[in-house]
Structure 1
Amino acid sequence: MENVMVELSKYIVITLMTIYTFFGFFVFQKKERKGQEKIYWIQRILIFSIHFIFSFLLYMDTKSMKVIGFYSYQVVFLVLTIILYQFVYRNLSKLVLNHMLMLLSISFIMLTRLNFDLAKKQFYIATASMVICLFIPFVIEKFKMLSRLGIAYGITGIGILILVLVFGKTIYGATNWLELFGIMIQPSEFVKILFVFFAASMLSKCSRFRQIVFITILAALHVLILVLEKDLGAALIFFVTYIFMLYIATSNAVYLFSGLISGVIAAVTAYQLFDHVKIRVQAWSDPWSDIASGGYQIAQSLFAIGTGGWFGMGLGKGLPNSIPVVESDFIFSAVSEEMGGIFALCIILIYMSCFLTFLIISMKMKNMFYKLTALGFSVLYIFQVFLSIGGVTKLIPSTGVTLPMMSYGGSSIASMMLIFSILQGLYILNQNEDEKVGKRKKIITSGQRTRDSKAQGN
């Protein structure tokens, strides 16, 4: 009976997820507010439905009351996030909020399946991050000086990275961790936020080539320190983010192509200098020749994705723990194996829907600092998604970066929730400006009509 329920639930969940994903793009065509609100409510019903079905399957698989208790906490978290965000973030993007909750709920479910203790830690950090994010609209709206602190952002970011380089701990070949009061933190995840603010602030004001050179040197220092830490995934994200921000700020294609060419040269140099890069490239090019060692991780990932097929093995029925570091770097493989290729494809489309929304926010911002900030976070976010999914599917060599909102990692989940919330704050700023412009137009129009009526009366 249990196997029948698992098999049936696969098709139900995939159907619900497909509907949710469809609405994630269909809502862009809806111009009426009532039509959009209806879609957002349907999406939330689908989130809670999928979350309930998966939680029930976990209970059936484990027969543990801890799963039921944890499910209850998650429901409270999801409900409170919806209520509090809509109260604090007036005029927020409900599509971005729904996508964030969908990705978080899948993360909680998959991590509960893989390691219950890690799932609890992820939940606690997400909860604390949610509370912190409630203050972001106030900061963005009240502190207009944020755009004038470019040098401060840059120096602070470089200082933190140097601190990690000197006192950090090495894990999986990269010296990118700090231990504070017994808690392991990955500072580069938070320096990403400072880096985008630094680049946006400096580039929004620069007009001369000399200024661009100075800003680029500071940006290059961030990347260089990350390379020295052997945190090459983060270095690549910083580099690509800056190149696109520089291109948008200057509208000079020479900077874009020069940056891409220098990136290729840097990649070849890294291959020659770092042994662990050679191992990853060799594992990517031919994992089967060294499946017992360097190619084991990517080979297990491909086995998992292939075994899952389009409809998956069913939650709790696969062997995702056979993949090393599955809960962080390779969680997409675990999702593909047990939830299926269609479900995994829907996750990719949800990421794309978020990215499109972020780009729309950036394009609508009139203030250059806010425009570049939104663009920087958009590029940073989608490139991290590309690196993570591309690495586990053998599209590109693995870089060891986490999948936003889904992979286990306290620093990763906290920083990404902050980024989503900052973008929500920018969205609200733009909405408020549009409302003010609309009110002014109404006042001007009504005043003109009054004058016209008086003129006709005379």
Structure 2
Amino acid sequence: MINVITELSKYVILTLMIVYTFHCFYMVWRQDEEEKRELLHQQLTMIFFIDFTAFLVIYLKSMDFRVILFYIEMMIFFAAIQILYRIIYQNASLLLLNNMCMLLSVGFIMLCRLSLPSATKQLLIVAAGSAVSLVIPVMIRKMKFLKDLTWAYAGIGIVLLAAVLVLASTSYGAKLSLMGIQPSEVIKITFVFFMASLLCTKVDFRKVVLATIVAVIHVGILVLSRDLGSAVIFFVTYLVLIYVATRNPSYLFLGLGGGCVGSVIAYHLFGHVRQRVSAWKDPMAVYQNEGYQIVQSLFAIGTGGWFGMGLCQGSPEKIPVVKNDFIFSAICEELGGIFAICLILVCTSFFLMIVTIALKIRNPFYKLIALGLGTEYAFQVFLTIGGATKFIPMTGVTLPLVSYGGSSVMCTILMLAIIQGLYILREDEDEQIETQRKETIERRGKRATPERKRNRQTP
């Protein structure tokens, strides 16, 4: 009976995920606010049934009562964050909030299936990050001096990265964390704020040089620390913001050329880089060593097929570091390739929403922040999924909101809170423009009224 429930559950979860994904894109084209609200409520219902079905299967397979307790705690958290956002920020983007809850749900399902203690720890970190994030939007609205802290952002980033390089111990071939915290995740935010603050006013060659110097220092320290994934994310974000601020394609091409040269130099200087490239080129040739991880990932993806093995039916634990770098492979194995494609589309919807918000914001400082944070999010998703599927060499970054990792999930939630603040700012700008338009019409109407009276009185 349990096997029947497990087999049916994967089709129920898959169907709900497909419909949820369709709603993410369908709402972009709809203008009817009442219909949007109804679709948002339907999305919450689908998240609830996906979680209920998945955790029911995990409990039936494990018969561990702690799974039920975790499920209750998780649902309380989701209910709290949905209610609080609706009370505190009535102009917030509920689709952005729903997508965050969906990605967190997928992560909690897989973490609970792989390691319940890790899932419990992740939930505590997510709850703490969400509590902090509730004050971020109002800070974005009220703290107008943020654009004036240009060199404070640069200094914080460089000092923290240098501390990691000097003091951190090596883990999986790279220096990543201090006292259990990965500063590069926080510096993703400060780096975007630095670039936006420097480039939000008139951009000349001097500012481009200053931005390049600071970016080279950030990326250089990360390369020396062998945190290659973060180094690539910082570099791509730098290129995007320079191009958007200057509209000069020559800077983009020069940057890409410099990045290619830097990659070749890193390949020859660092054995760590050569190992990852070797595992990417032919993982079966080095299966017993550096290729083992990617081979197991490909086996898991292939085993899952289109519809997956079903929760608790696969063997994702055979993939090293599956909770962090290769959780996408575990999702493919147990929930299926179609579910994984829907997950990618939800992440794509996330990115497109951020870009849409950025394009509608008139303040150049906030516009660059939105584009920078959106670029970091999208490229991190690309690096994680690309590495797990052997599309690119593995870079060792996590899938935002889904993978296990306290610093990563905390900072991603804070990034999304900043985006919510920018979305609310955009709504405020629209309301202000509409108010000014109505006042202008009223003033014109008042001036026109005496003129019409005089015209009637003239014989």
Residue pairs, 1:24-39, within 5 angstroms:
24-39=24-39
**Residue in 2 that maps onto 1:310:** 306
How far the C-alpha of 1:363 sits from its partner, in A, is 0.6
How far the C-alpha of 1:320 sits from its partner, in A, is 0.3
Residue 90 (str. 1) matches residue 86 (str. 2): no
How far the C-alpha of 1:90 sits from its partner, in A, is 2.9
Q: Map Cα deviations across residues 164-213 of structure 1 (whole Å, 9 max, x no partner).
A: 1111121101112101xxxx111100011000000110111353212221
Residue 384 (str. 1) matches residue 384 (str. 2): no
How many residues are treated as equivalent by the alignment? 454
How far apart are the structure 2 equivalents of 1:136 and 1:86? 15
**Residue in 2 that maps onto 1:210:** 206
The question of whether the paired residues in 2 share the 8 Å contact of 1:89 and 1:425 is answered with no
Structure 1 counterpart of 2:435, from 428, 436, 439 = 439
How far apart are the structure 2 equivalents of 1:15 and 1:308? 17
How far apart are the structure 2 equivalents of 1:94 and 1:372? 22
How far apart are the structure 2 equivalents of 1:47 and 1:436? 35
Residue pairs, 1:333-344, within 5 angstroms:
333-344=329-340
Structure 1 counterpart of 2:355, from 352, 356, 359 = 359
How far the C-alpha of 1:9 sits from its partner, in A, is 1.1
**Residue in 2 that maps onto 1:416:** 412
Structure 1 counterpart of 2:395, from 399, 408, 419 = 399
- SS at 2:176's partner residue? strand
How far apart are the structure 2 equivalents of 1:71 and 1:199? 41
The question of whether the paired residues in 1 share the 8 Å contact of 2:308 and 2:335 is answered with yes
Q: Map Cα deviations across residues 93-126 of structure 1 (whole Å, 9 max, x no partner).
A: 1111110000001111110000111111100000
**Residue in 2 that maps onto 1:234:** 230
The question of whether the paired residues in 2 share the 8 Å contact of 1:365 and 1:371 is answered with yes
How far the C-alpha of 1:307 sits from its partner, in A, is 0.3
Residue 368 (str. 1) matches residue 385 (str. 2): no
Residue pairs, 1:55-74, within 5 angstroms:
55-74=55-74
The question of whether the paired residues in 2 share the 8 Å contact of 1:88 and 1:137 is answered with no
The question of whether the paired residues in 2 share the 8 Å contact of 1:89 and 1:424 is answered with no
- Amino acid in structure 1 at the alignment position of 2:20: Y
The question of whether the paired residues in 1 share the 8 Å contact of 2:203 and 2:245 is answered with no
How far the C-alpha of 1:335 sits from its partner, in A, is 0.5
**Residue in 1 that maps onto 2:319:** 323
**Residue in 2 that maps onto 1:288:** 284
**Residue in 1 that maps onto 2:176:** 176
- SS at 1:402's partner residue? coil
- Amino acid in structure 1 at the alignment position of 2:90: R
**Residue in 1 that maps onto 2:8:** 8
**Residue in 2 that maps onto 1:40:** 40
- SS at 1:326's partner residue? coil
The question of whether the paired residues in 2 share the 8 Å contact of 1:320 and 1:326 is answered with yes
Structure 2 counterpart of 1:222, from 200, 218, 222 = 218
- Amino acid in structure 1 at the alignment position of 2:270: F
- Amino acid in structure 1 at the alignment position of 2:422: L
CA-based RMSD: 1.0
How far apart are the structure 1 equivalents of 2:255 and 2:226? 20
How far the C-alpha of 1:308 sits from its partner, in A, is 0.4
Residue pairs, 1:127-138, within 5 angstroms:
127-138=127-138
- SS at 1:297's partner residue? helix
Residue 259 (str. 1) matches residue 255 (str. 2): yes
- Amino acid in structure 2 at the alignment position of 1:290: V
Q: Map Cα deviations across residues 403-426 of structure 1 (whole Å, 9 max, x no partner).
A: 011000000000000111101100
How far apart are the structure 1 equivalents of 2:18 and 2:41? 16
Return 5+ residue gaps in structure 1 as ranges.
Answer: none
Q: Map Cα deviations across residues 233-258 of structure 1 (whole Å, 9 max, x no partner).
A: 10110001001100000000001111
How far apart are the structure 2 equivalents of 1:228 and 1:234? 12
Q: Which moved more, 1:439-448 or 1:97-106?
A: 439-448
How far the C-alpha of 1:215 sits from its partner, in A, is 1.9
TM-score, with normalisation over the residues of structure 1? Answer: 0.98
How far apart are the structure 2 equivalents of 1:89 and 1:319? 43
How far apart are the structure 2 equivalents of 1:163 and 1:206? 33
**Residue in 2 that maps onto 1:125:** 125
Return 5+ residue gaps in structure 2 as ranges.
Answer: 455-459
TM-score, with normalisation over the residues of structure 2? Answer: 0.97
- Amino acid in structure 1 at the alignment position of 2:214: L
- Amino acid in structure 1 at the alignment position of 2:425: L
How far apart are the structure 2 equivalents of 1:169 and 1:257? 36
How far apart are the structure 2 equivalents of 1:53 and 1:199? 44
How far the C-alpha of 1:444 sits from its partner, in A, is 2.0
Q: Map Cα deviations across residues 245-280 of structure 1 (whole Å, 9 max, x no partner).
A: 000000000011111111111111111111111111
- SS at 1:185's partner residue? coil
How far the C-alpha of 1:457 sits from its partner, in A, is 3.9
How far apart are the structure 1 equivalents of 2:218 and 2:126? 27
How far apart are the structure 2 equivalents of 1:142 and 1:8? 50
How far apart are the structure 2 equivalents of 1:372 and 1:434? 19
**Residue in 1 that maps onto 2:457:** none
- Amino acid in structure 2 at the alignment position of 1:21: T
**Residue in 2 that maps onto 1:278:** 274
- SS at 1:177's partner residue? coil
